[in-house]
Amino acid sequence: AMFGGQRKQEEAHPQRYQGKESACFKLTETCLLLLHRGDITKWTVDGHTDAIVNAANERLLGGGGVDGAIHRAAGPDLLKACRQFPKVSRGIRCPVGSARITRGFNLPVSRIIHTVGPVYDMEEDPESKLADAYRSSLNITRENEVKYIAFPAISCGIYGYPYEEAAAVSLTTVRDSIKDLKEVHFVLFEMPAWEAWLEKANELFEQI
């Protein structure tokens, strides 16, 4: 009986990636939400069916922040793969709110989903653009057999989106858009991001 109880506990709290801190919530009846404080380039759940999301820019040629960290960890083949995407207009390979998918190359995950969030002060309706970036990322998982996904705090760095607002948009959008995923993860790098997501998740969901 003890052993049975122990196993149940492990299923409820998947421990395959441990951030400096982690928390688990019931996102929907069938899907768990896992929050971690840490580095998304280190995240993996199952190297055949998992993906991390990159907060890229429209050119898709790398940049600072999490984009730079992902390109460094994935290696130069990632840039080559990104260059293969056709430009939809001048220099733009991935418009704000849309997403593209590549292999993971030297990362432990099988796929990288590149999406572009809004620059907070430049968009008339940053909230709908940020929601689009989350929805596009989730949509692309369906066509690519991705079963586990980890998001960073899209737009919250160089693009200036306030953490509290971004946490609300991301968590409600993900809750309302997941279809067959069993787990959605967020890997928050900075303490204020981790705190904002944790607070919002506690407000919206049951912690388990």
Residues that bind ligand ADP (CB under 6 A): 39-41, 55, 64-67, 69, 117, 152-159, 187, 189-190, 193
Listed residue (74, 70, 73) closest to 57, CA to CA = 70
Handedness of CA 163, 34, 172, 205 (dihedral sign): negative
Tokens of 208: 């388990």
- One-letter amino acid at 167 equals A
Which residue number, 122 or 208, has a Cβ lying nearer to ligand ADP? Answer: 122
Listed residue (70, 77, 111, 115) closest to 96, CA to CA = 115
To ligand ADP, the closest distance from the beta carbon of 37 in angstroms equals: 9
Which residue number, 78 or 143, has a Cβ lying nearer to ligand ADP? Answer: 78
Which residue number, 134 or 159, has a Cβ lying nearer to ligand ADP? Answer: 159
Q: How far is residue 117's CA from residue 99's CA, in Å, rounded to a whole number?
A: 10
To ligand ADP, the closest distance from the beta carbon of 60 in angstroms equals: 13
Which residue number, 26 or 38, has a Cβ lying nearer to ligand ADP? Answer: 38
To ligand ADP, the closest distance from the beta carbon of 113 in angstroms equals: 13
